[in-house]
């Protein structure tokens, strides 16, 4: 237990998203930024506490924490920005003498806007500036962080600083930052750069051991990396060390489809516990993939699904609609593709032009609104060239309805039942778990999208008024 050398009380808050996004309640995993920076301050002797609003108990009130904080540090995503501003204003009313620092992805994208709600704004990475910010040696309104070159220099995140961390159902581990690719819609390379910085396998093993000890009985890990396994050489070294150390756990991660070009690498992933991958397929339209600078092909997408399924790894496939290259056919073609390839879990969103990205510059004249509550992928924020905003919205709703139809859910359960006797590389217990997990996730999404259409009925009706001759899909 670190001794507290400085009595100044520092509160990190990650705000919840808008009520218009019904998935807000499910977003329990915290961002790594607040935990990492809080750990750094804690190790330096500061009195630090971290709150993720979605983890608070129902009868808990954030006001109780705000009034005790001498410094409030808000970490904002674009979809949490508006609520974050509300918290900042509330804090200033409760503690006029307190200081507000705002960082996070949205602060890096829109520092001038954010500066209206903060005493100081931190742009970019905070590891090299956080101590100076707290100690007051940096005086500028907007402070620019510098990249942390050696990722091993980060302290291992101390989740005891997070309120209700015991509610986490999975162990979060982050091994890298940055992305060597430059997709036009993505904020990662814009904020963290295209240099892929990854910690050593030895450091990752130490972190896994420490977090497994802290979270005790939890044996599932989510690798937070935006692009896990981008450095395959170091990834293979990590896999070897996991086996050498005799560590047993299931894990999931976000990867690119082209990683499956190397079948033996995917097999190795499966051998050391990979059970689910999140893949941003983005589109089955080759023109859209080129327009987004995705640097992948439709053939690679099809091949990846086949290879991951061959080794018993489930797929959470993410698709985006609404590029200038999309036409009316994209919706039915994507639905058929998902059903034919039996992707375990499909996610369908509207292409979103986050401020500062190459995409936002390309579609500047097509932007429909700057209400950050709508920048969640389930609201249309710009008008594509070939189709209307309603076409995009209706296409999203129709995709969820068809891909999560009872026919598809039962067919997938039948496939999973067949896998009980086919995939011998997995324990029978896991194969049973997979079958019921797939079923539960699909039912959950079916229910969630019905709730979404109900909550956003006025939004959908507003779009309908522009396109009266187009049938509306609400509560069907």
Residues 398-423: tens digit of each pLDDT = 999 999 988 888 888 887 787 777 66
Residue 425 confidence (pLDDT) above 90 = no
Residue 476 confidence (pLDDT) above 70 = no
Confidence of residue 469 (pLDDT cuts 50, 70, 90): very low
Q: Angle at Cα 372 formed by Cα 362 and Cα 459, nearest 5°?
A: 100
Q: What is the pLDDT of residue 24?
A: 61
Helix, strand and coil content of the chain, in percent to the nearest 5, comes to: 45, 15, 35
Residue 28 confidence (pLDDT) above 90 = no
H-run or E-run covering 255: strand 250-255
Which residues in the chain are classed under CATH 3.30.750.200? 256-462
Which residues in the chain are classed under CATH 3.40.50.280? 8-144
Q: What is the pLDDT of residue 108?
A: 96
3-state secondary structure of 74: strand
Class of the CATH-defined domain 8-144:
alpha beta
3-state secondary structure of 5: coil
Pairing type for strands 176-177 and 197-198 reads antiparallel
State both tokens at 9. 């009380």
Backbone angles phi, psi at 9, to 5 degrees: -95, 125
Q: What is the pLDDT of residue 474?
A: 41
Residues 342-396: tens digit of each pLDDT = 899 999 999 999 999 999 999 999 999 899 999 999 999 999 999 999 999 999 9
Q: Domain 256-462 adopts which CATH fold?
A: Transcription Regulator spoIIAA (3.30.750)
Residues 220-273: tens digit of each pLDDT = 999 999 999 999 999 999 999 999 999 999 999 999 999 999 999 999 999 999
Q: What is the pLDDT of residue 275?
A: 93
Residues 90-124: tens digit of each pLDDT = 999 999 999 999 999 999 999 999 999 999 999 99
CA 129 from chain centre, in angstroms, equals 25
Q: Which residue has the higher pLDDT, 171 or 428?
A: 171
Percent with pLDDT over 70 in the chain: 94
Distance (Å, whole) CA 109 – CA 344: 34
Residues 279-291: tens digit of each pLDDT = 999 999 999 999 9
């Amino acid at each position: 237990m670190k001794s507290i050398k400085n009595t100044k009380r520092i509160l990190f808050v990650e705000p919840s998203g808008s009520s218009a996004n019904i998935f807000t309640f499910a977003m329990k995993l915290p961002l790594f930024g607040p935990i990492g920076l809080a750990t750094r301050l804690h190790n330096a002797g500061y009195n630090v506490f971290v709150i993720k609003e979605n983890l608070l108990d129902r009868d808990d009130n954030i006001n109780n924490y705000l009034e005790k904080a001498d410094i409030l540090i808000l970490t904002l995503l674009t979809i949490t920005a508006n609520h974050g501003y509300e918290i900042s204003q509330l804090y200033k009313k409760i503690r006029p003498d307190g200081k507000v620092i705002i960082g996070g992805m949205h602060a890096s994208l829109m520092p001038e806007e954010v500066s209206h709600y903060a005493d100081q704004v931190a742009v970019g990475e905070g590891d090299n500036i956080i101590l100076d910010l707290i100690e007051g040696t940096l005086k500028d309104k907007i402070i620019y962080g510098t990249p942390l070159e050696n990722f091993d220099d980060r302290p291992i995140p101390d989740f005891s600083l997070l309120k209700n961390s015991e509610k986490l159902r999975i162990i979060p581990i982050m091994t890298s930052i940055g992305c060597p690719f430059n997709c036009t819609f993505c904020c990662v390379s814009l904020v963290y750069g295209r240099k892929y910085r990854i910690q050593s396998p030895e450091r990752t093993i130490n972190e896994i051991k420490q977090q497994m000890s802290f979270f005790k009985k939890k044996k599932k890990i989510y690798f937070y990396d935006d692009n896990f396994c981008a450095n395959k050489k170091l990834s293979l070294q990590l896999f070897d060390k996991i086996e050498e150390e005799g560590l047993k756990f299931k894990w999931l991660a976000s990867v690119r489809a082209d990683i499956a070009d190397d079948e033996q690498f995917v097999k190795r992933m499966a051998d050391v516990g990979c059970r689910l991958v999140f893949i941003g397929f983005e589109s089955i339209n080759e023109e859209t993939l080129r327009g987004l600078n995705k640097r992948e092909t439709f053939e690679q997408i099809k091949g990846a699904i086949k290879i991951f399924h061959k080794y018993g790894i489930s797929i959470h496939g993410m698709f985006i609609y609404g590029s200038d290259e999309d036409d009316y056919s994209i919706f039915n073609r994507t639905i058929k593709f998902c059903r034919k390839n039996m992707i375990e879990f499909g996610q369908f969103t509207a292409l979103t032009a986050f401020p500062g990205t190459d995409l936002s510059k390309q579609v500047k004249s097509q932007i429909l609104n700057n209400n950050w509550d709508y920048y969640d992928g389930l609201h249309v924020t710009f008008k594509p060239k070939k189709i209307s905003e309603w076409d995009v919205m209706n296409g999203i709703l129709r995709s969820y309805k068809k891909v999560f139809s009872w026919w598809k859910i039962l067919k997938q359960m039948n496939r999973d039942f067949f896998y009980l006797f086919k995939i011998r590389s997995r324990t029978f217990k896991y194969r049973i778990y997979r079958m019921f997990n797939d079923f539960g996730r699909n039912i959950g999404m079916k229910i969630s999208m019905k709730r979404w259409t109900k909550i956003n009925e006025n939004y959908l009706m507003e779009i309908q008024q522009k396109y009266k001759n187009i049938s509306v899909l609400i509560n069907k």
